[in-house]
Structure 1
Amino acid sequence: MQEAFLHYLWKYKKLDLSRLTTTAGETIVVKSVGQHNLLAGPDFFNAQIEIAGQHWAGNVEIHTASSDWFLHNHEQDKAYQNVILHVVWEHDTEVFRKNNTPIPTLQLKNYVNPQLLSNYKQLFNNKSTWINCESQFHTVSEFIVNNWLERLYLERLERKSKIINELLVQSKNNWEAVLFTLLAKGFGQKINNEAFVSLAQSVNFSIIRKLHSNPIQLEALLFGQAGLLEDNHQDAYYIQLQKEYKFLKQKFQLNNQGVLPMQFFKLRPPNFPTIRLSQLAMLYNKHQNLFSKIIDLNDIEAFYNLFKAETTPYWKTHYTFGKTSKQVSKTISKPMVYLLLINTVIPIKFAYAKQHAASNNEELLKLIQQLPPEKNSIITAYNNLQPIAKSALQSQALIQLKTEYCDKHKCLFCAIGNNLISQ
């Protein structure tokens, strides 16, 4: 029996409230279960309870067994002296305050519906499956699932905004610099995202601003910091970039010791770091105040036009230095723009609004719902249970569901798990 399940029973009043009594036979009337405390101290603060006709206001502590009170040394802790009710699954000993007055005890197992207990055990006995509710997931109504996924998506945005706030502190509240770091991460995608972030953070964004009108210098800066100009290619453009980077390195006192190596292995040529870095350079060549433009836009087509940048001419016939290929215009694709919207644009718009005590949730939900769902193993697996990922909102929410709830067996905190237990 998990203590978290007992918290769930008390918090959501999944009890036969009409006939509650203490282990001493005194009538209990629950006026308020109190505020759930997830930090140190009693489990529920400021509960309102009548015991034997007397009104009590104070805290509630919950344990699997009464003896856990002594196991956790609560009898020595001042924080537990205001506990008005000890809620347990199994009452195996009396518990006293420091002044030797007994703490009333409620034994939960006498008041829980057997079917609810059976549902709980069934859910938590399936840990060998992909997710605990794998065999039952399809039975939950679409209304409950969709409402929960919307909440999960906003929860995911909250998590991402914390990362953005950390970057803001590092950049002394420079939103343009933070955007550059996040865009670099997006252009690095799954394989090179950490390397691209380390590259972005190795350059003061003021340098990007100074070089924005010179595409060759911008590209030389990024390629040089990425460690991609350290060979001896007999290639005119490569040599030109080397010379430009040598000049920039001396002028701005640059170093790239903390930049992680760029990976080419297992990547399709259009995703090579050479192509992505050139596209990133050209994006900043095209737009000087990219952050303010992103904040002002809300239309998908407008975002596509904003991010519609291609490489410098050299990369139309190259994927790597010194080796020519068939001429292809390497413009940032729509799927790439969608990923930038999902992982960079929408989170930064959310964080910006939040910092300014504004809410743009409806606007962002409308935007994310217009984007196609992502394709990965998590989304495929959920869709096999019940086809629900119809937009990027659902796919992002499902990632949040899997990583923060299913993988951690937090079914009691999940609307889907709650529904299955309560059926």
Structure 2
Amino acid sequence: MQEAFLHYVWQFKKFDTAHLKTTSDETVALHNNGQHNLNGGPDFFNAHLEIDGQVWVGNVEIHIKSSDWYVHNHEVDSAYDNVILHVVYEHDSDIFRNDNSVIPTLELKSVIHKNVFQNYQKLLMSPHKWINCESDFAEVDDFLMNNWLERLYIERLERKSKVIDTLLETSKNDWEGVLFKLLAKNFGLKVNGDAFLSMANSFDFSIVRKIQSQPLQLEALFFGQVGLLDMEMENAYYGTLVNEYQFLKQKFKLSNNHVIPLQFFRLRPPNFPTIRLSQLAMLYHEHHNFFQKIMGAKTIEDLYELFQVGTSEFWNTHFTFEKNSKATKKILTKNFIDLLLINTVLPLRFCYLRSQGKNPTEQNLSLAQNIGSEDNNIIAAFNTLRPMSTSAMISQALIQLKTEYCEKNKCMTCAVGNSLLAK
């Protein structure tokens, strides 16, 4: 059994409250169960209750067994001195205050509503294939599900905001510089994301500002910092890049000692780091003050327009420096732009608007609802249970649901789990 289940039972009074007695046969009347505490200290603050006619106001601590009080060392923690009731599933030991008086204990084992306990067993104590509630997921009310998914999407944005806040601290609140780092990471996708981010971190963004009007220098900077210009090669374009990089390296005292090596293995040619770095260079050549343009975009179409870029001419006939390929213009695809919007633009707009004292929720929800759903294993699995992912807002919410709730068995704090427990 999870202690979180007992928190749920206590918070929502999923037990017979009419004839409660402590383990010492004292009557208990509940007036207010208290405020659920999700941080350190007792589980519920400021509960209001009567024990044998005596009114008490204080904190409630919850455990599976009474003896867990000592397992968790609460007897030596002053934060628990104001506990007025110890609520447990099973009573196996008396608990004492510092003055040796017994803390009243309420055992829930025999008073929990039968249907709630049965639903809990079905949800969390039965063998399951993918998520605990997969057999009942399709039955959850649409209104509840939609509201929960919106909340999960905002949760995911808030989680991503923490990464942005850290980047802002290390970038002296340079929003343009943070945008560049986030874009670099997401241009690298999962395979080369960390390598691209380490490249972006290896020099000050002011260098990009200074050379933006020179696309060849931008490419030389990016290629050189990731170590792609260290080879011996008979190639005019490659030689020009090497010369430009050596000039930039000396001028700006560049170092790439801490840049993570790139990976080409198992990547489709359009995702080769050579192509993505050239596209990133062309994006910054095309757009000066890119952060302002991102923030100034009013519609999803405005954002798509900002990312209509390709590579430099050399890469129209190459995927690597060494070999020619069929001539194609390697512009950013809509699916790739969607990933950039989902993982970079929307979280950054959310974080910036909030820093300005504005409420970013409605705007971000509207934009995310106009971006197509992601296509990955998590989304595919949810869609088999209940066809539902029609936008990036929903797909991001489902990823948050799976990774932060389902995988951690946090059904008690999930709206879906709560609704199934209450059936």
Shorter-normalised TM range:
over 0.9
Distance in 2 separating the partners of 1:238 and 1:71: 66
- Cross-structure match for 1:241: 241
Once the two structures are TM-superposed, the CA of residue 55 in structure 1 deviates from its matched residue by 2.2
Distance in 1 separating the partners of 2:271 and 2:413: 39
Distance in 1 separating the partners of 2:401 and 2:309: 34
- Cross-structure match for 1:387: 387
- Cross-structure match for 1:300: 300
Distance in 2 separating the partners of 1:367 and 1:75: 52
Distance in 2 separating the partners of 1:360 and 1:79: 37
Give yes or no for the alignment of 1:120 onto 2:120: yes
Matched residues, number? 423
- Cross-structure match for 1:22: 22
- Cross-structure match for 1:199: 199
C-alpha contact 1:33 1:47 (8 A) present in aligned 2: yes
Once the two structures are TM-superposed, the CA of residue 25 in structure 1 deviates from its matched residue by 3.3
Once the two structures are TM-superposed, the CA of residue 88 in structure 1 deviates from its matched residue by 0.9
- Cross-structure match for 1:72: 72
Distance in 1 separating the partners of 2:317 and 2:71: 71
AA partner of residue 326 (structure 1): K
Farther off after superposition, 6-15 or 276-285:
6-15
- Cross-structure match for 2:312: 312
Q: In structure 2, the residue corresponding to 1:331 is in which secondary structure?
A: coil
Distance in 1 separating the partners of 2:73 and 2:335: 57
State the Cα deviation string for residues 86-111 of structure 1 (Å, max 9, x = none): 11111223322222222222111222
TM-score for the superposition, normalised by structure 1 = 0.97
State the Cα deviation string for residues 293-339 of structure 1 (Å, max 9, x = none): 11111311111111111111111111111322221111111111111
- Cross-structure match for 1:348: 348
- Cross-structure match for 1:44: 44
Distance in 1 separating the partners of 2:19 and 2:26: 10
Distance in 2 separating the partners of 1:119 and 1:220: 61
State the Cα deviation string for residues 22-61 of structure 1 (Å, max 9, x = none): 2333332222222222333211122122223332111101
5+ residue gaps, structure 2: none
C-alpha RMSD of matched pairs (Å): 1.4
Q: In structure 2, the residue corresponding to 1:319 is in which secondary structure?
A: coil
Once the two structures are TM-superposed, the CA of residue 128 in structure 1 deviates from its matched residue by 4.4
5+ residue gaps, structure 1: none
Q: In structure 2, the residue corresponding to 1:246 is in which secondary structure?
A: helix
Farther off after superposition, 105-114 or 161-170:
105-114
Distance in 1 separating the partners of 2:386 and 2:226: 43
Distance in 1 separating the partners of 2:77 and 2:344: 46
Q: Summarize the alignment of residues 404-419 of structure 1 with structure 2, pairs less than 5 Å apart.
A: 404-419=404-419
Farther off after superposition, 38-47 or 264-273:
38-47
C-alpha contact 1:160 1:347 (8 A) present in aligned 2: yes
Farther off after superposition, 236-245 or 355-364:
355-364
Distance in 2 separating the partners of 1:74 and 1:400: 33
- Cross-structure match for 1:183: 183
Q: In structure 2, the residue corresponding to 1:50 is in which secondary structure?
A: strand
- Cross-structure match for 2:159: 159
Distance in 1 separating the partners of 2:417 and 2:92: 30
- Cross-structure match for 1:282: 282
Once the two structures are TM-superposed, the CA of residue 69 in structure 1 deviates from its matched residue by 2.3
Give yes or no for the alignment of 1:83 onto 2:83: yes
Once the two structures are TM-superposed, the CA of residue 250 in structure 1 deviates from its matched residue by 0.5
AA partner of residue 35 (structure 1): Q
State the Cα deviation string for residues 349-376 of structure 1 (Å, max 9, x = none): 0111122221110011010001110000
Distance in 1 separating the partners of 2:147 and 2:360: 18
- Cross-structure match for 1:104: 104
Once the two structures are TM-superposed, the CA of residue 80 in structure 1 deviates from its matched residue by 1.7
AA partner of residue 205 (structure 2): F
Once the two structures are TM-superposed, the CA of residue 76 in structure 1 deviates from its matched residue by 3.1
Distance in 2 separating the partners of 1:126 and 1:26: 36
AA partner of residue 123 (structure 1): L
AA partner of residue 145 (structure 2): V
- Cross-structure match for 1:223: 223
Distance in 2 separating the partners of 1:68 and 1:311: 62
Distance in 2 separating the partners of 1:25 and 1:103: 13
Once the two structures are TM-superposed, the CA of residue 170 in structure 1 deviates from its matched residue by 0.5
- Cross-structure match for 2:34: 34
Distance in 2 separating the partners of 1:75 and 1:319: 66
Q: In structure 2, the residue corresponding to 1:85 is in which secondary structure?
A: strand
Distance in 1 separating the partners of 2:381 and 2:238: 45
TM-score for the superposition, normalised by structure 2 = 0.97
C-alpha contact 1:234 1:322 (8 A) present in aligned 2: no
- Cross-structure match for 1:334: 334
Distance in 2 separating the partners of 1:93 and 1:189: 54
Q: In structure 1, the residue corresponding to 2:340 is in which secondary structure?
A: helix
Q: In structure 1, the residue corresponding to 2:109 is in which secondary structure?
A: helix
Q: In structure 2, the residue corresponding to 1:262 is in which secondary structure?
A: coil
- Cross-structure match for 2:251: 251
Q: In structure 2, the residue corresponding to 1:61 is in which secondary structure?
A: strand
AA partner of residue 161 (structure 2): S
C-alpha contact 1:69 1:95 (8 A) present in aligned 2: yes
Residue 71 and residue 231 in structure 1: after superposition, are their counterparts in 2 closer, same or farther (change >3 A)? closer
Distance in 2 separating the partners of 1:278 and 1:320: 11
